[in-house]
Amino acid sequence: MPELPEVETIRRQLSHRLTGRRIVDARAFDHDKFLPGLGAVGHTVSSVGRRGKYLLIRLEPTAADEPQRSGPGELELIVHLGMTGQLSHSCSEDHVDPYERAAWRLDDGSELVLRDVRRFGRVALVPAGDHSHSATLATMGPEPFDDAFDAELLRSRVNGSRRAIKTHLLSQRIVAGVGNIYADEALWDAGVHPAARRLTRPAATRLVESLRAVLRAGIDAGGTTLRDYRDAGGGSGSFQFQLRCYGRAGEPCERCGSLLRRTTIDARSTTWCPSCQRR
């Protein structure tokens, strides 16, 4: 599943391509998860944002059409890529893609296309800033680079619960945008066992710093492409060549030489070092 670095890469690529463009037409796969996107027609993109793993495309009524509108003013087109979603922007091509789930034609002739093989992604159109439709968005924790995300917040949530630290990270309620790949990498970097249920202040501080470091590295590398992820231009990320823990079970730890191990924590595959990440 695309995580914060992948979605942020797409956001940065789309921001200058979409901002100021008017959506003149749209099509969608006949399912409630994608049909809301049709309502974006007639609006102009004012900005492209991100919250956690969600893209937030801010829309405003096109000036010429505004007097005829009786609904809300600014809207937000929310796109979640799910497991296999790909959001691309290119010149329109006349070909049929059986995995296309939604598409928006812009006033310059280009198209923004959501392709999703497994259909785990979704599209929503809501009044700008209203995230009450999504329990995940409505209860999401701070962004990892915000000052609100710090060691004390992390400790207060983890130490008052019986859940494993990795489960907390993936829940999106302590920090936004972290998924399986970057959680394993950050926990390894900080020397924190993924099944730990308590954090000391030094461990929590290290983990906050490690999360920020691996996410920044992921963004700088354009994300991680293991199978499905592609950026807005169809290119691959390169962070997979920098992975030091995730998916490397059975290989020697780069820090101590012990063989990395794999287990399952709350149904999520997890890799860790038995020597560097003691409970």
Catalytic residues: 2-3, 53, 268
> Could you give the CA distance from residue 210 to residue 71 in angstroms, rounded to a whole number?
45
Tokens of 115: 């392709």
Q: Apex CA 131: angle with CA 127 and CA 135, to 5°? A: 150
Candidates 42, 107, 104; CA nearest to 71 is 42
Residue that has been written with the tokens 């860790």 in this structure = 272
Residue in the structure block whose two tokens are 């009524």? 61
80 contacts 122 by C-beta, under 8 angstroms: yes
Alpha-helix runs per DSSP H in the chain: 4-18, 135-138, 151-158, 165-171, 180-190, 201-220
Q: Cβ(53)–Cβ(177) under 8 Å?
A: yes
Count of beta carbons in the 10 Å neighbourhood of residue 264: 8
> In the chain, what is the greatest distance between 2 CA atoms, to the nearest angstrom?
68
CB 237 within 8 A of CB 247: no
Integer Cα distance of 184 and 226 in angstroms: 15
What count of other Cβ atoms lies within 10 Å of the Cβ of residue 279? Answer: 11
- Structure tokens that stand for 279 in this block: 């409970």
